[in-house]
Structure 1
Amino acid sequence: MSVEPLIELKGICKTFGDKVILDNVDLDIYPGEALVIIGPSGAGKSTILRIIAGLLAPDAGEIYIRGQQRKGLIEDKQDPLGISMVFQQSALFDSLSVAENVGFFLYQHSRLPERKIRQLVEEKLEMVGLPGISHQYPAQLSGGMRKRVSFARAIMSNPEDSRYNPEVILYDEPTAGLDPIASTVIEDLVRRLQHAAEVCGTYVMVSHQESTIRRTADRVVFLYDGQIQWQGSVKEIDLTDNPLVRQFFSASVDGPIRVIN
């Protein structure tokens, strides 16, 4: 019995000005999958994430969420599937406490009492390894801690309305700017959350850091020149003869990937 994809991108195109970012991209995302999209800077990786999240509309093509075609942006109509996004710079509100950041969606879109929201916030902070910091503010936290707070916000669910509970998490460069040890903490956390009870088990990540790609991916998709040029498992990275993949992981300036000075 074949497994139906949770999310399907069909013929997705996107341009900014006269620059073609995505050119007829097809991509399926399956339940329980750990998919990492890689490629050089400017290849359109983050653009794909924003289109999947419903924050950006494609110029052409179709998006299906659990078999239902999405029309417009996420603000126009709720998807039949909860999708959360962790942004590259964490995107926390500096003027709000950690508790207010993590519980932001519930404060804005639920009728849960303050005490219940606080309880849920503490549970999520515990899951990301940050108990007891709910009273602090983003400026008081390290870069790695801010990343983990953004993870806690992304996995927040509403026990009274399952329609809003995330089933897919989108990670945009979650280890960017972190030292190797902090990166390992984040990589381990991504995998741990995937297998945690009551947390979505599917994620799509954009990354260019080799350790993150190798430690968090089940399937790797290589994006370049607006199209998917290669895909395979982590093990296949070292076996493929694809010149784009070989150049990317060898960090060579010689090869088909154009070097931008």
Structure 2
Amino acid sequence: MVMNTWNALHDRISLTYDEAGTGDGPPLVLLHAYPQCREMWAPQLVALSGGPGGGRRVLAPDLFGFGGSPVPDGGWTVDTAADALADFLDGIGITVPVVLGGLSMGGYVALAFARHYPSQLAGLILADTKGGADTAEVKAGRNKSIELVRDQRAGAVIDQMIPRLLGATTHAKRPEVVTAVRQMGAAQSIDGVAAALVALRDRPDATPNLASINVPTLVIVGAEDVLTPPDVARELAAAIPGAKLEVVPAAGHLSNLEAPDEFNAIVQRFLTTV
């Protein structure tokens, strides 16, 4: 897979991204979790495009500070990330509404995009994420993680997260996924992880806007997700008019990596309705 780079010269920001597929279907844009990068979508990129030369264009950008995308001066927020995503789509020639999918942190940015750019959405996929803002307790944990990454690099943060980031079945039966997730997280930069923690900590409550989402919406959650568990996903789906909820068996918070075949089948079915 060849990494592409989009540059917005007017404000000196850039995003790196991978893509696959062509065709007439609405483009599918996938936003990754924290502290991963665009590479976490490798099991989806070609599969959801319909294969080489398939039926839709699928894009997976690196959010600010991850993979090859630098952190903007002054950091970022979920809202400025949504603005950059809108500029990115225009800059690479996508002028039709897209299906936007986000997992965990990517879901927070997707919800910000839905708030600010509803006319640019054809559909929405929210995986292992939630609408609410961080509680005071979670914010305090983010601050501790910022100190940890500054002291010990990103590897210390991902090692701390791994037990809860992946489901019990993955830990027991898919050690290669555990290794890949740990390596991807450890490869991220100190500045990127710290800036993301600030953006996550300070993101607004998206709940008040959920009832105004008026595009087909799919909510996905791993049955073993302990960070945003199925009950949280049910609340999210219930708050969005017409949203469909799907639970991925034997998967935790990174359901697309832990059970890629099941995840892809769920998304493919949803895409036929958009």
Assess same fold via TM > 0.5: no
Larger radius of gyration: 1
More helix by percentage: 2
Scaled by the length of structure 2, the TM-score of the pair is: 0.28
